[in-house]
């Protein structure tokens, strides 16, 4: 009998449309069937059929519907990619990387893993810095540039405004979401990767960001709050090589 992850991967790969639906859920979940149908140009019946197959395989799971989709009567069902679904997206590289990092920690100590994480994220940060420089100083434009760079690297990122920009408060900002993480299973065992990434976001955006949730900790999406009231007024710190 196939493992749950294998079954979820098989069901997803059976149909190109189903793969599109999973990608959309990964990027924008929790998302309702009605929204999926509208965004993907599909009929509601077709979307529900694919959602039923994905749900039965364990690739997705129901979640609380987003604000604005909770009308009177029976609440709309929204979907996110499940732990099994994310596991189905994992590769042999994931397992090899975890084994290599365990060996590194055992042979050279936990500090060696932290240095490796910092080095890996530093390379990512250097690539993204050019993208953000082209975006100028507008907070939304810089956040969108970061989202585009993350999505290009497989993080299924998106950004949503938080609060009212016309009446800014310390809680006014941008919610940056990452619906998928290529190193999720590695980061679950070695949180140094999440910590290094969060620090890199702060330096790239020029403000102290706050990580609210992570896939590595079992949440359905990585969520980072980016305050915009002081964006680009906080001096960025140069990270020295370790």
Sorted by where each starts, the structural domains of the chain and their CATH numbers stand as: 4-88 (1.10.10.10), 92-227 (3.30.1380)
CA proximity to 63, closest of 240, 221, 241, 231: 221
For residue 74, the model assigns a pLDDT of 57
Which pLDDT belongs to residue 2? 55
What is the rounded distance in angstroms from the CA atom of residue 193 to the CA atom of residue 2?
A: 31
The C-alpha atoms of residue 123 and residue 104 are separated, in whole angstroms, by 20
What pLDDT is recorded for position 241? 39
Q: Could you tell me if 143 and 160 are in contact, meaning their C-beta atoms sit under 8 angstroms apart? A: no
10-residue block means of pLDDT along the chain (242 residues)? 62 74 82 91 90 89 66 70 72 72 91 92 92 86 92 88 76 89 86 94 92 90 86 42 38
Say what the pLDDT of residue 121 is.
Answer: 92
The H or E element spanning position 31 is strand 31-32
Between the two ends of the chain, the Cα-to-Cα distance in Å is 47
Q: Note the pLDDT of residue 34.
A: 92
Bridge partners for 157 per DSSP: 178
Q: How far is CA 162 from the centre of its chain?
A: 17
Peptide bond into 80 cis (omega under 30): no
Confidence at residue 179, expressed as pLDDT on a 0 to 100 scale? 87
Are residues 21 and 47 in contact, defined by beta-carbon separation less than 8 angstroms?
yes
What whole-number distance in Å separates Cα of residue 217 and Cα of residue 200?
Answer: 19
C-alpha span between 154 and 184 (Å, rounded): 12
What is the secondary structure of 55-79 as a DSSP string? Answer: HHHTSEEEEPPPTT---SSSPPPEE
pLDDT of residue 93: 58
CA 231/CA 6 separation, integer angstroms: 44
pLDDT at 37: 92
Can you tell me whether residue 186 is helix, strand or coil?
helix
What beta strand segments (E) does 137-221 contain?
157-162, 173-178, 210-213
């Amino acid at each position: 009998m196939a493992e749950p992850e294998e079954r979820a991967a098989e069901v997803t790969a059976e149909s190109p449309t189903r793969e599109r639906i999973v990608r959309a859920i990964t990027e924008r979940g929790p998302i309702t069937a009605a929204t999926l149908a509208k965004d993907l140009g599909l009929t509601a019946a077709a979307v529900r059929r694919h959602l039923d197959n994905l749900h039965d395989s364990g690739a997705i799971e129901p979640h609380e519907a987003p604000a604005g989709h909770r009308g009177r009567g029976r609440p709309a069902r929204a979907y996110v990619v499940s732990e099994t679904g994310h596991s189905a997206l994992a590769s042999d590289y994931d397992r090899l990387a975890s084994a290599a990092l365990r060996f590194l920690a055992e042979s050279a100590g936990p500090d060696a893993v932290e240095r490796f994480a910092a080095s890996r994220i530093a390379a990512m940060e250097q690539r993204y810095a050019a993208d953000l420089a082209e975006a100028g100083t507008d907070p939304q434009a810089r956040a969108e540039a970061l989202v585009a760079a993350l999505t290009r690297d497989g993080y299924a990122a998106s950004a949503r405004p938080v609060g009212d920009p016309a009446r800014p408060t310390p809680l006014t900002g941008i919610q940056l979401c990452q619906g998928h993480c290529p190193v999720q299973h590695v980061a679950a065992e070695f949180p140094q990767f999440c910590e290094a990434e969060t620090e890199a976001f702060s330096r790239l955006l020029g403000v102290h960001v706050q990580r609210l949730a992570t896939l590595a900790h079992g949440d359905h999406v990585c969520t980072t709050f980016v305050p915009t009231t002081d964006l680009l007024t906080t001096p960025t710190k140069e990270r020295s090589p370790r």
